[in-house]
Amino acid sequence: MRLLNRWRGSACIGGAAGLLLGVLGAAANAACPTWAGVPVLQPIIPCDSQGTNQNAFNNLAWQQFITLNWVADPSLPGQPDNSVPAAAFGVAGSLNPVVWESYKESSEVFRPNGAPPLPWANKQETPLAMRSLMKSKTLKATSALGVKGLYLTSKFGASPVPPLKDIAEAGTNGAWLTAQPKMNNYVTLFEKRLNQDEYNYINQNQLYVANKQPAFATTQGLNLPDGSATFSTYGTVGAIEIKAAWIELDDPTLWPMFKTSKAWVSYPITGGGNTTPKQVTVGLVALHIIRKTPNAQQFMWSTFEHVYNAPSKNELSAPPLSWYTYYNLSCNPATDYYKCVQNKMPVVGTDPYSAPVQVVRTTPISNTTANNIAALNSNTWATIKAANPSSVFLNYQLVNVLWPNNNTPIYPGATSPLPDGNAQPPVAQQPVANTILETYHQDINCLSCHTGATVAGQQQTLASDYSFLFSEASNPATQSKKSKSKLMRVKLP
């Protein structure tokens, strides 16, 4: 029995009727929820942007943030709990998982030895990477959804250890981000998740097996679902990938300011090894939401941050807030490890994990007529505040949204780099970057890197539809040696 990603109530329950993959653009669809094109405090996820312009995608980004941060239905992973009223959106101190937290973690989909993904409805198990660190065989569940595990693996020391991969900041050769003393110099921890549409696509086509990806990409095209009728086998929302950043919160007085969760955490130890996992309260500091829709074959890349993360460069002379998680207002170059240098990237094997980074946003939140995110944030906060004046989500802001102005379908045999679809806004005008997820590369856009994503296997050029998750696939142990040579011999059309 296929599991489709169906949003109940007023949520998105269908793609554009009769829409073919090659027919791009907005399409009327009575099955899609009625949406006026501006953020509303309801758990609905529109099928697409209402228009192909910056403001239309900005509005869709906020609506997606609201829906994906609605309390999840504990009996239906990936779905919002429609019994939760708007007045309960972002209740301070709540530890209930939200919709995106009920998505599958990437390690539950791409498993060792090419094993099939865990069933969608299964509770999350203890992450494999944490099991060797545990004193017991199992960890106590952090919620009704199972175990949330957040960890960073050390690369220090002479003995071989797992690479940092995406749990370090992308494109940094393993660099991490340490918070200021306000947060006890904790290292930032990341997680990656994907929704049921993408899960179904990977599972049904066995793309969790590395050596099956090249042939599929060559003959059918590795083309993630966009929620249209063409992809109805997989679901009706379109592929969504999430990357989230968390910080441990020791101080309970800060909990009402953050979206909080319980999690088992483990930190690297300078010189090698990791700390024993412990269960703590963590606060959300940043969130990437990327989604494929008919109007966004290159995906729409929206990114959000906590307002207390760091000041913008134009706010340094008079910071508007009394403290920041990643910026020390009283930083002293004489005592600070990095001499208060802004956005200083730590070096693996050289710098200590305990040294805080002085983070500054290099591109202020846009307030131009063509991309007035500052005004949209204020308007959306007003909508949230009208329902819940103490909502924790009043402390989160949209940073920017990247979208394709030249919407381009991906065909079988496509190789990297894929087209960027004339992504807007242009990087020269306004880089789309998150100070926590792209601290050290705030001068580029996400898509600049993701156009080069390929299927699993060394020296591969076949594209994986802008997703690096496919590189995490492995092969059954008995096929591992044969697979390597087979992957090298795939011929392109």
> Digits of tens for pLDDT over the chain (493 positions)?
333 344 433 345 333 333 333 333 333 343 678 899 999 999 999 999 999 999 999 999 999 999 999 999 999 999 999 999 999 999 999 999 999 999 999 999 999 999 999 999 999 988 877 877 776 677 899 999 999 999 876 544 333 233 333 445 556 678 899 999 999 999 999 999 999 999 999 999 999 999 999 999 999 999 999 999 999 999 999 999 999 999 999 999 999 999 999 999 999 888 888 898 999 999 999 999 999 999 999 999 999 999 999 999 999 999 999 999 999 999 999 999 999 999 999 998 899 999 999 999 999 999 999 999 999 999 999 999 999 999 999 999 999 999 999 999 999 999 999 999 999 999 888 889 999 999 999 988 888 889 999 999 878 899 999 999 999 999 998 754 444 444 444 443 3
Nearest Cα neighbor of 473 from 214, 265, 195, 269 is 214
- 372 CB burial (10 A radius; 0-12, 13-18, 19+): middle
**Between the CA of residue 343 and those of 277, 311, 338, 439, what are the distances in Å?**
29, 12, 9, 6
364 touches 442 (CB < 8 A): no
pTM: 0.89
Pairing of strands 240-248, 296-306: unpaired
Spatial neighbors of 274 by CB under 8 A, at least 6 apart, are 133, 151, 152, 153, 154, 266, 267, 268
CA distance 299 to 283: 27
Report whether 113 contacts 476 (CB < 8 A).
Answer: yes
Alpha helices, H only, 20-155: 54-68, 106-109, 128-131
Q: Can you tell me the distance from the alpha carbon of 71 to that of 100, in angstroms, rounded to the nearest whole number?
A: 9
Amino acid at site 377: N
DSSP string covering 342-406: BTPPP-TTTS-TTSPPB--BSSPPP-SSTT-HHHHHHHHHHHHHHH-TT-GGGGEEEEEEEEESS
Check: CB of residue 71 under 8 Å from CB of residue 84.
Answer: yes
